């Protein structure tokens, strides 16, 4: 007698194999989603911090001088010949923290937020350096991704450092 079909044991083995394969595929998909989220967080945080650093270094290089009366460890004021109002001979630019964002404020204008809303600046430090007749500014900035849900794949922080010389500056006492 030739019977066609599957026995109960064969069906259970096939279902077990299919379940294991499905579990591996689903686990891999969830791993890919977590890896993509982590990568997005890293890229967004790094890009935001790098963009802010590039803007600050550009403005420092173009500045005439550091305006020391309003320059502190977490605020930098620059005197510049750029962005002049009508009839003015110089202008001022400030970099500072407004809340947890890095802001740029040009004289007589509203502040411009330089960092992404998803990124917060946890540390900002400016060090004014005078060497001989020349001045430089050292910038230390720490940016981290905002993580209100406290999910581990959203934890990322980066610290950038740079020292920038003022091109047109000559120190006078």
Give percent above pLDDT 70 in the chain: 95
Residue with tokens 């900035």: 141
Segments forming the whole domain that contains residue 81: 8-165
Residue 1 forms part of a structural domain? no
Residue 170 forms part of a structural domain? no
Residue 172 confidence (pLDDT)? 45
This prediction has a pTM of: 0.81
Residue 128 confidence (pLDDT)? 93
Domain count, the chain: 1
* Contact by Cβ (8 Å): 148, 126: no
Mean of the pLDDT values across residues 40-54? 96
Residue 2 confidence (pLDDT)? 66
Residue 24 forms part of a structural domain? yes
Residue 171 forms part of a structural domain? no
């Amino acid at each position: 007698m030739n019977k066609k079909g599957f026995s109960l044991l064969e069906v259970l083995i096939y279902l077990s194999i299919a379940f294991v394969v499905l579990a591996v595929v689903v686990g891999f998909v969830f791993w890919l989603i977590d890896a993509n989220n982590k990568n997005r967080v890293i890229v967004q945080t790094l890009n935001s911090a790098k963009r802010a650093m590039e803007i600050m270094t550009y403005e420092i290089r173009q500045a005439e001088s550091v305006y020391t009366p309003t320059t502190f460890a977490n605020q930098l004021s620059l005197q510049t010949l750029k962005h002049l109002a009508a009839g003015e001979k110089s202008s001022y630019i400030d970099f500072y923290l407004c809340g947890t964002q890095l802001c740029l404020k040009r004289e007589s204008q509203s502040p411009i937020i330089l960092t992404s809303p998803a990124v917060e600046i946890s540390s900002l430090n400016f060090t004014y350096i005078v060497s001989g007749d020349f001045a430089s500014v050292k910038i230390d900035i720490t940016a981290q991704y905002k993580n209100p849900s406290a999910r581990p794949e959203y934890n990322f922080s980066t610290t950038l450092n740079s020292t920038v010389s003022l091109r047109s500056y000559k120190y006078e006492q």
